[in-house]
Each structure stands twice: as structure tokens, then as C-alpha cells.
Amino acid sequence: MGGTKMMAVVFDDQFNKLAAAKKKTKGNAGAEAGLNRIGETIAAAIKSADLQPEDIAGIGIGSPGPLDLDRGLILATPNLGWRNVPLKATLEKQFRCPVVVVNDVDAGTYGEYRFGAGRKNRCVLGVFPGTGIGAGCVYEGKLIRGRTGSCMELGHFPIDPRGPVADVGRCGTLESMTSRLAISAQAAQAVYRGQAPALQALTGSRLDRIRSGALAQAIAEGDQVIETIVRHAARVLGVAVAGVVNLLAPDVLVLGGGLVEALPKLYREEVQAAIAENAMPAFAAGVKIATAKLGDDAAALGAAALVAGKVK
């Protein structure tokens, strides 16, 4: 479940994809309408797989947070404006099967650990730069979590007190300096100055149009200033990731998210260089840097695997 769309996927017990359904999230219609849409999307996916609700062994949901993981509540979602949404209780009543609610980035990291770029590794760190910066960590087979909710809030890492304003009262977080929005804001200035003709033709200086794909296309078409902006952001992200490598000594770093999907080589190069320069040599040598393999399916697969682990 994301800020703009939601997707329900039906898997068999070997995690083969049987069917899927999508809807827009429409967060501003309110939490009750949202809960109904979630139920409808799941029901549509079940129907599309030629199954009945009673055939479903369990439902796993990756959701933006903060969440209460044990009670399966959405406590608040800044993107959707929902508060205290009883996701688990409502869906368990509707579908009469166990429901597991997990942070969306954690679901994606767990999916990559079970089925993708992090398979069979002791410690997998997932870093997903996009509109925000998400991260998750599977350590010895389990997601690292906070007491009641998820953790690994890498985007809120304090980087530079002179950096841009990020949240009320905080400046220079990693997200404020390296998210897709932060990059787009710099790219829009380059367009305004007439330094990025390809991006000018593609999007103009409108922030809402300068998405990861447009940035990648402008770079491919020769906007060098755009490449400099993105490489710089990727390097700053990489320095912060090097710090996390020093803390957790992961075996695999999985890079994913919108920016990495659009520019995988650039991101791998910059993050690798930042880790080589800033992580402990033994930890830098011990971490394999990979790009995510499962794309949009990672979170659905991860959530499905997590609920399967509870059901079996």
C-alpha cells in the first residue's frame, strides 16, 4: 500500500503469483473509505485468481507508518492523513484469516531477502531512495524492529545542521538532502537557469513532474548538470550508508526505490565509492552491493512470506 496506489497480489504456497488487482489509494477520502478500498482490492485479486475468500491462508500488508506492528494498527500516515486505523482487526473480520501488518519498506527488504538480491544472507540492509529515503534490515532471518513499530529511519538521519529545512524544527536530514524531492528541487533550479535543456523540454521546472524517470532521461540526453546533481546526492547518501555499514556490517546492501530503478549504475557506483572511502576497510570489503531484483513485487512477496511464516 502506497501513498498513491495500492496493489493486492495472490500467491500460492510456493509464492507463485496467481493474480493481482490495483486501485488508487485516495488518502484524502478518509480512513474508513480507505479501509473499504483495501478490502475491495483484496477481494478483486482473490476473484481474479478464481478463488474464494476462504481459500486464503493469510494476508500480509506492507503499509506506510508509523504502525503498531503487534496490534496491526496504522497509527498515523503523514502521506494519507489517516490516524489509528485498525487494519489487522478489520481485515481479519472481513476475510476470516490471519493478517500481518508490516512497514512498507520492511516488507520490500524482507521480499528481497527471501526471493531477490539478498537471498540466504545473514544480514541484509535495504536502502530505498525515492520520494523519501527508506531502509530496512533483515538480521539473522528477522526484520530488525522497534518496540512497537518499525525502525531504520535512515531518511531522518541528521547529516548537516546547515542543510535544508526537512521537518518542523529539523534541518539537514539525509532525506532533505538526497531524496528524489531534494534532487528535483535542485534540478528545477538548473532548468530555471537554462542549464538543463533536455529536462526543460521534458518537464519544465515543475517539481511535481521532475520524477526519477525524467531525471534519468535528461542525463541520457546530455544534461550534465543534472548528472552532477544526482551523483552528488547519491554520494552523500552513500556516506550515510557507509556509517550504517560501520554499525551493522551487513553482508549485502540492496539498493532499490525509484531513483535506483531509474539509474542503477550511477547509484551503485557512487554508493560503492562512498563506502570504500568511509566504511571500515574490513566491512567495506565484506559487503556485496546489489540492486533490488523484484521491483514492485518485493513488498507483496515480503508481506506474503511474513504472514506465511505466522500461518505455517
Binding of its own copies by 286 (CB under 8 A): yes
Q: Which of 135, 137, 126 is nearest to 155 (CA)?
A: 135
Question: What angle do helix axes 212-220 and 224-248 make, rounded to 10 degrees?
Answer: 120
Report yes or no: 12 and 55 within 8 Å, Cβ to Cβ: no
Binding of its own copies by 149 (CB under 8 A): yes
List, in sequence order, the alpha helices (H) in 82-196: 87-95, 104-115, 174-178, 180-192
Cell of 108: 520490500
Binding of its own copies by 213 (CB under 8 A): no
Span near its own copies by CB under 8 A; candidates 5-13, 89-97, 112-120, 151-159: 151-159
Q: Min. distance of Cβ 115 from its own copies in angstroms?
A: 22
Binding of its own copies by 139 (CB under 8 A): yes
Nearer to its own copies, 58 or 136 (CB): 136
Where is 298: in which H helix or E strand?
helix 297-311
Binding of its own copies by 17 (CB under 8 A): no
**Which one among 59, 117, 154, 215 touches its own copies, defined by CB under 8 A?**
154
Binding of its own copies by 251 (CB under 8 A): yes
Task: Label the pairing between strands 73-77 and 82-85.
Answer: antiparallel
Span near its own copies by CB under 8 A; candidates 27-35, 199-207, 236-244, 297-305: 236-244
**Which one among 16, 169, 208, 312 touches its own copies, defined by CB under 8 A?**
169
Alpha-carbon span 152 to 66, nearest angstrom: 12
Q: Which of 104, 102, 101, 116 is nearest to 255 (CA)?
A: 116
Span near its own copies by CB under 8 A; candidates 35-43, 100-108, 126-134, 275-283: 275-283
Q: Min. distance of Cβ 98 from its own copies in angstroms?
A: 22
Binding of its own copies by 272 (CB under 8 A): no
Length of the chain, in residues: 312
Binding of its own copies by 249 (CB under 8 A): yes
Binding of its own copies by 66 (CB under 8 A): yes
**Which one among 22, 119, 122, 206 touches its own copies, defined by CB under 8 A?**
122
**Which one among 90, 200, 278, 291 touches its own copies, defined by CB under 8 A?**
278
CA atoms within 13 A on the CB side of 305: 23
Alpha-carbon span 286 to 293, nearest angstrom: 21
Span near its own copies by CB under 8 A; candidates 97-105, 110-118, 145-153, 214-222: 145-153
**Which one among 23, 26, 47, 156 touches its own copies, defined by CB under 8 A?**
156
Q: Which of 247, 278, 240 is nearest to 156 (CA)?
A: 240
Q: How many residues bind its own copies (CB under 8 A)?
A: 37
Q: Min. distance of Cβ 160 from its own copies in angstroms?
A: 8
Task: Label the pairing between strands 59-63 and 99-103.
Answer: parallel
What percentage of the chain's residues is helix, strand, coil (to nearest 5)? 45, 20, 30
Residues that bind its own copies (CB under 8 A): 66, 122-123, 135, 139, 144-149, 151-154, 156-158, 169-170, 239-240, 242-244, 246-249, 251, 277-280, 282-283, 286
